[in-house]
Structure 1
Amino acid sequence: MSAFNAIGEKREVEREDFTPGIEPQATWCPGCGDFSVLKALKGAMTDLGKNPEEVLVATGIGCSGKLNSYFDSYGIHTLHGRALPVARAAKLANPDLEVVAAGGDGDGYGIGGNHFMHTARENHDMAYIVFNNEIFGLTKGQTSPTSPKGHKSKTQPHGSAKDPIRPLSLALTSGASYVARTAAVNPNQAQEIVKEAIEHDGFAHVDFLTQCPTWNKDAKQYVPYIDIQQNDEYDFDVTDRKEAAEMMYDTESALYEGEVLTGRFYREEGRRTYGQEKRAHGDMPEDPLAERYHDDDYEWERSYDLLDAHK
């Protein structure tokens, strides 16, 4: 089981432990909000005392997809919109692995929208960080699912005729058990929220507002922002679905009116994760499947050995 010895190992962890030697300096555009996601993730893992060998980062395609190139851990650069199913499989095979999935707003809410809904519904135990800059950045400025109505782009030169998606509300109605929004311009809050999302037992969705100064100058830098947990005007119970839904709707409406509200919106504790449900139903073994196949003495099983034949 040597491949798994690092999990649970207690040692001092520093932020630079997560800086890769091959590509230590991120090459996003100057002023890009993606730098803040990388910084928040490094800080959160350091605070949690995680080793790089205990972490897997699965990304999709886009500017956000470079995250695991600049973050030293296990990483999988998947297909467009497919970070979540790959991350789910990894977590089910090795529940002790700390799994983080990441993608852009086009990657996560558009191309991978079906995976987003069902991963939330099933409450898979992982953090999902969506870099939301309201534009397709890597492909140079096309309208995305979160682009505001009327926004002009290469694909919508006369302005988008569609209302933007409401990612927080979608996460809640789909079944996510932790929902938050933060912004690149609020690094302290960003690190705290990413840390909470990683610690949360269940599917934690973080809508991370990341400005794109190159291809979406309309969004500017999402300032000024308001931390709803630090403002007496926004008093609601984050454990109450109805109150959370109302707060999310107001927040998503306010964003396109120039008011940026960030913070924790919903948290559900005590609900079993998908892996726990499967083990409780006897559909999965208690010991991680991944460990079995790193044991030289273990006799491999095939699916037909694990399932009863249909009568």
Structure 2
Amino acid sequence: MSAFNAIGADREIEDEEFTPGIEPQPTWCPGCGDFGVLNALKQAMPKVGRNPDEVAVFTGIGCSGKLNSYFESYGFHTIHGRSLPVARAAKLANPGVEVIAAGGDGDGYGIGGNHFIHTARENHDMTYIVFNNEIFGLTKGQTSPTSPKGHKSKTQPSGSAKDPIRPLTLSLSAGASYIARTAAVNPNQAAEILAEAIQHDGFAHVDFLTQCPTWNKDAKQYVPYTDIQDSDEYGHDINDRAEAAEAMYDAESKLHEGEILTGRFYVDDERPSYTEEKQAIGEMPEQPLAERYFDEDTEWDRSYQLLEKHK
């Protein structure tokens, strides 16, 4: 039994299915890297055999928040920095749905940074795409957590005095079990990485470099880039946490020096997801909550039945 009849349907999926029938006119600026994220996501879904009825996309506020308006699936537009807790609730209620959360670097690493850390720590089974353009774009060009030191903006007219955060390193230390970086200028790699992230059982974090030609001309196009999986110079064991940490630090340091390193940085396929952990200790039922609404014979548990009285 499934909460949605379409889930589990065995058929070939086409990427055109993820384009809305009445496609809204995108309001992203010409040349915006967000188009690259949208196209990569449309290409990734057929690779994993998911159709629009099996996917839910949760977004925050910002240019990235428009993603689910241009992507055919279930969608939920949350408030600033809060896409992850809403996405977590949806996945726990109905694990059969493929859950994707998205936000910008300000939304994900700044305003929603606390949710990012704890979602990674708990290893929720979902994919988190962070549109990283090193600027607050929708609100017209303020410095963001990933803006490089010295970057001049409306909020830092003399140049930022702060070092940028290191999102890959932060993700690893928090506990994410799949960590990768790709770029809008590398569409083939982007689609492959998103497909892998979606198929991964656990929290998959993809730092997606998206150029902002309107408000952050310093970042240019994030080119030329190097795929670390295709490079003899930068190869490391992506299953080795220590080697991954070193590779991440190297990539984050060289980003602002003009060398763009992209690819898979860390993968842990052995760690159980949060749902599996909760089921193992008996605090989460095997039958998804969402399916109970479709089962007339279900006997609903009450809190006073689940919890022992205080003695």
Sort the TM-score into its range (normalised by shorter chain).
Answer: over 0.9
**Matched residue, 1:131:** 131
Quote the residue 2:209 is aligned against. Answer: 209
Instruction: Compute the displacement of 1:27 (Å).
Output: 2.3
What is the DSSP-based 3-state SS (H/G/I as helix, E as strand, rest coil) of the residue aligned with 1:172? Answer: helix
Output the CA distance in 2 between the equivalents of 1:177 and 1:111.
22
Could you tell me how far 1:3 is from its partner in structure 2?
4.5
Q: Is the 8 A contact 1:26 1:70 kept in 2?
A: yes
CA shift, 1:151, in A, is 0.3
Aligned mates of 2:86, 2:269 — CA distance in 1: 25
Q: Distance between the aligned counterparts of 1:308 and 1:74, measured in 2? A: 38
CA contact (8 A) 2:185 2:221 kept: yes
Query: Are the equivalent residues in 1 in contact too, given 2:55–2:73 (CA < 8 A)?
Result: yes
- Measured against aligned partners, the alpha-carbon deviations of 1:240-285 in whole angstroms (never above 9, x if no partner) come to 1111000100100000011100000000111110000000000010
Q: Tell me by how many angstroms 1:51 deviates.
A: 1.1
Q: Does 1:119 align with 2:119?
A: yes
| Other-structure match for 1:150 | 150
Partner residue, 1:245? 245
Deviation at 1:17, TM superposition (A): 0.7
Q: For 2:183, give the aligned amino acid.
A: A
Separation of aligned partners in 2, 1:297 and 1:81: 39
Residue 281 of structure 1 corresponds to which residue in structure 2?
281
Do 2:54 and 2:98's aligned partners in 1 also have CA atoms closer than 8 Å?
yes
Superposed CA deviations along residues 157-184 of structure 1, whole A, max 9, x for unmatched, are: 1110100000000000000001000000
Task: Give the C-alpha shift of residue 50 in structure 1.
Answer: 0.6
Other structure's SS at 2:182 match? strand
* Residue in structure 1 matched with residue 267 of structure 2 by the alignment: 267
| CA shift digits 1:22-73 (9 cap, x unpaired) | 3344221100000010011110001112110100101110000000011110
Q: What SS is found at the alignment partner of 2:76?
A: strand
Query: Counterpart of 1:73?
Result: 73
Which deviates the most, 138-147 or 6-15? 6-15
Give the alignment's Cα RMSD to 1 decimal: 1.2
Distance 2:299 2:226 in 1: 56
Amino acid at match of 1:22: I
TM norm structure 1: 0.97
Query: 1:177-203: per-residue Cα shift (whole Å, max 9, x none)?
Result: 010000000000000000000000100
Alignment identity in percent? 78
Which residue matches 2:42? Answer: 42
Partners of 1:222 and 1:304 in 2: CA distance? 55
Q: 1 CA distance for matches of 2:309 and 2:96?
A: 31
Determine helix, strand or coil for the equivalent of 1:4: coil
For structure 2, the residue ranges without an aligned partner over 5 or more in a row are none
Q: Tell me the amino acid that sits aligned with residue 244 of structure 1.
A: A
Corresponding pairs, count:
311
1-side partners of 2:3 and 2:21: how far apart?
21
Correspondence 1:1-311 to 2 at 5 A: 3-311=3-311
Alpha-carbon distance change, 282 to 235 in structure 1, aligned in 2, over 3 angstroms: same
Q: Given the two structures, how large is their TM-score scaled by the length of structure 2?
A: 0.97
Structure 2: distance between partners of 1:60 and 1:70: 15
The ranges of structure 1 where at least 4 consecutive aligned residues each deviate by more than 6 angstroms after the TM superposition are none
Which one-letter code corresponds to 1:84 in the other structure? L
Q: Quick one: distance in 2 between partners of 1:296 and 1:22?
A: 36
Alpha-carbon shift at residue 129 of structure 1 (Å): 0.4
